[in-house]
């Protein structure tokens, strides 16, 4: 347990989350070794933090790094806190932690063979990122005529088969999609499966609603009534129905949930009602 309210001195970081998870693994494996355990976390960036050298297409240029005369020293790499041989953080003269470059790893060609994202030793641009065009062409995807990305990366087609720009294609490549969080990697190494709730977990997770209600100190003394828990479950069902079956947006689902608060699902004519309400 940890205090997340007034007396806790700092944010609960990814390191704290992973340390807590390892303690939890020790407990469940000792007390209930006969069961297969699954840890469920909400979709927070603190929980889903990836390794510093993880694949990411978000800032990759189409051309090789350093091609611009204005930025000849540019390169696409990850950043991690520098540590000495004893594992302690290294600080500069201003007392700030020094960050060091770390190349991205884990890329794979369609054949399953490793793909190096950087030019090899002996190349004129040795150590530089190859650029998305070359990376895609090495995967058998023609990218010379494609733009680097759609305006503000708001692609009209966001499906897995989208081929509108270099960034979207690379973003959807299996090795980029399937990068695991450090929390997931460490738990799976000890036989624990990790699941993350959907991004709209507040609406789809009744447990979170129960937790919020217990923040009221007076009512928390007697706990949350079973009737309220059932209502929270119904509310989650309504949002799930709106998102997955009716294809509603967040504001649309919220409006429908207020209007049909006594139902488990929304009526089939909810889209017509939204149009009439000018939403």
- Please indicate, yes or no, whether residues 160 and 56 belong to a single structural domain of this protein: yes
**The pLDDT value given to residue 140:** 97
**The pLDDT value given to residue 221:** 46
SS3 assignment, position 41: strand
pLDDT (average), residues 90-101: 92
- Please indicate, yes or no, whether residues 143 and 256 belong to a single structural domain of this protein: no
DSSP-assigned letter for residue 243? I
Contact 246, 272 (CB under 8 A): no
Average pLDDT taken over every residue of the chain = 86
**The pLDDT value given to residue 251:** 80
- Please indicate, yes or no, whether residues 164 and 188 belong to a single structural domain of this protein: no
pLDDT (average), residues 162-173: 96
- Please indicate, yes or no, whether residues 118 and 98 belong to a single structural domain of this protein: yes
- Residue 254 sits in which domain range? 198-279
- Report yes or no on whether pTM surpasses 0.85: no
How many alpha carbons lie under 13 Å from residue 174 in its C-beta half-sphere?
Answer: 6
- Please indicate, yes or no, whether residues 82 and 126 belong to a single structural domain of this protein: yes
Q: Is the pLDDT of residue 66 over 70?
A: yes
Predicted confidence (pLDDT) per residue in 132-147, tens digit = 999 999 999 999 999 9
Residue 178's pLDDT band, with cuts at 50, 70 and 90, is very high
**The pLDDT value given to residue 10:** 58
- Please indicate, yes or no, whether residues 56 and 157 belong to a single structural domain of this protein: yes
| Three-class SS of 178-219 | CCCCHHHHHHHCCCCEEEECCCCHHHHCHHHHHHHHCCCHHH
The number of residues in the chain equals 279
Q: Is the pLDDT of residue 219 over 60?
A: no
Of 179, 213, 229, the position where a domain reaches its end is: 179
Number of domains in the chain: 3
- Please indicate, yes or no, whether residues 56 and 174 belong to a single structural domain of this protein: yes
**The pLDDT value given to residue 55:** 95
Output the CA–CA distances (angstroms, integers) from residue 143 to 75, 80, 105, 108, 138, in the order listed.
20, 31, 22, 18, 10
- Indicate the helix (H) or strand (E) that contains 166: helix 166-171
pLDDT (average), residues 212-236: 71
């Amino acid at each position: 347990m940890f205090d997340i309210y007034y007396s806790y001195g700092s944010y609960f970081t990814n390191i704290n989350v992973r340390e807590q998870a390892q303690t939890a693994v020790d407990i469940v494996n000792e007390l209930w070794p006969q069961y297969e355990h699954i840890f469920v976390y909400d979709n927070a960036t603190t929980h889903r933090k990836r390794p510093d050298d993880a694949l990411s297409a978000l800032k990759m240029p189409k051309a090789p790094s350093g091609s611009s005369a204005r930025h000849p020293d540019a390169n696409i790499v990850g950043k991690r806190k520098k540590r000495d041989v004893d594992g302690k953080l290294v600080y500069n003269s201003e007392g700030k932690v020094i960050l060091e470059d770390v190349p991205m790893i884990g890329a794979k060609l369609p054949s399953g063979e490793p793909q190096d994202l950087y030019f090899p030793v002996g190349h004129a641009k040795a150590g530089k990122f190859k650029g998305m065009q070359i990376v895609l062409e090495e995967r058998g995807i023609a990218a010379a005529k494609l733009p680097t990305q759609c305006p503000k990366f708001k692609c009209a087609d966001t499906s897995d088969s989208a081929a509108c720009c270099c960034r979207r294609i690379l973003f959807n490549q299996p090795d980029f999609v399937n990068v695991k969080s450090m929390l997931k990697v460490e738990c799976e190494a000890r036989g624990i499966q990790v699941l993350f709730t959907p991004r709209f977990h507040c609406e789809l997770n009744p447990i979170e609603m129960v937790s919020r209600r217990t923040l009221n100190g007076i009512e928390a003394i007697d706990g949350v009534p079973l009737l309220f828990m059932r209502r929270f479950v119904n509310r989650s069902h309504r949002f799930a129905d709106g998102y997955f079956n009716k294809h509603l947006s967040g504001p649309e689902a919220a409006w429908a949930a207020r209007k049909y608060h006594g139902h488990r699902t929304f009526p089939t004519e909810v889209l017509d009602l939204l149009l009439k309400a000018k939403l």
